[in-house]
């Protein structure tokens, strides 16, 4: 909040200070409104893609948007209470923490590089844009990003739990806020393993693979992850039924 306060004080010293203050506050309003729209739309799109058969129908998406907006409005009512400032500080320090962000970014890099396969990801990018990106990106996915994200997680944890402005109960609630976005990842992995353990590292059927038999990951000319093995065809696919040519 300090930069905004200083900026408003600087504007008050300019000629026509009221006009520039109104313009500045309108900019902040539209910026927050734009972020809110993008946040709601991204959540709605994620839910619709999880349940396409039920939500990709006429009027279902609009109802989902209305429900999500009403829920967000009810949850935001706590920010107009007497203890709103303390809640805001907890959300700022724990809910929007660098720990969750660094954990998610590092885990994404590990999944792309070591599970899905950096070389296969290179093939997907080349298939989409027509050329392979800079080779240094492969080692960033494999080593650089996971290392710095892990270091960032430990450094941010040390700074968060060493602060003295929150009590033990506040830190416990803050820890739950911090773990909330991170716990979704292992939960979805567990659900995918329970559904089909053998297809955890197999790309989706609608994602075209330019070179499915090439190794997914190679380091120093050694194959770390082999290519995707083709799934066995069903009897119906091997011998498709032939249509009758007899007249009716």
| Binding site listing for Na(+) | 31
Query: By CB neighbour count within 10 A (0-12 exposed, 13-18 middle, 19+ buried), where does 152 fall?
Result: middle
E strands, the chain, in order = 217-219, 222-225
Q: Report how far apart, in Å, the C-alpha atoms of 42 and of each of 12, 59, 193 are.
A: 38, 18, 26
Q: What is the DSSP letter of 77?
A: G
Helix (H) or strand (E) holding 126: helix 118-129
| Binding site listing | 31
Closest CA to 112 of 130, 139, 134, 131: 139
């Amino acid at each position: 909040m300090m930069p905004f306060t200083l900026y408003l004080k600087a504007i008050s010293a300019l000629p026509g200070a009221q006009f520039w203050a109104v313009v500045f506050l309108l900019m902040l309003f539209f910026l927050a409104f734009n972020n809110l729209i993008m946040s709601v739309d991204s959540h709605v799109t994620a839910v619709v893609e999880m349940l396409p058969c039920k939500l990709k129908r006429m009027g279902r998406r609009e109802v989902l948007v209305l429900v999500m907006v009403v829920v967000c409005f009810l949850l935001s009512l706590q920010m107009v209470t007497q203890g709103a400032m303390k809640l805001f500080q907890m959300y700022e320090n724990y809910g929007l923490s660098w720990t969750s962000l660094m954990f998610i970014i590092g885990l994404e890099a590990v999944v792309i590089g070591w599970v899905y396969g950096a070389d296969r990801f290179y093939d997907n990018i080349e298939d989409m844009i027509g050329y392979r990106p800079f080779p240094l990106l492969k080692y960033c996915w494999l080593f650089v990003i996971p290392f710095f994200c892990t270091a960032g997680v430990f450094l941010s944890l040390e700074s968060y739990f060493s602060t003295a402005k929150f009590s033990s109960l506040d830190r416990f609630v803050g820890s739950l806020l911090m773990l909330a976005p991170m716990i979704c990842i292992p939960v979805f992995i567990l659900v995918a393993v329970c559904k089909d353990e053998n297809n955890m590292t197999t790309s989706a059927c609608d994602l075209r693979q330019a070179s499915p038999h090439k190794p997914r990951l190679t380091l120093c000319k050694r194959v770390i992850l082999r290519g995707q093995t083709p799934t066995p065809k069903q009897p119906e696919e091997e011998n498709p039924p032939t249509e009758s040519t007899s007249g009716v």
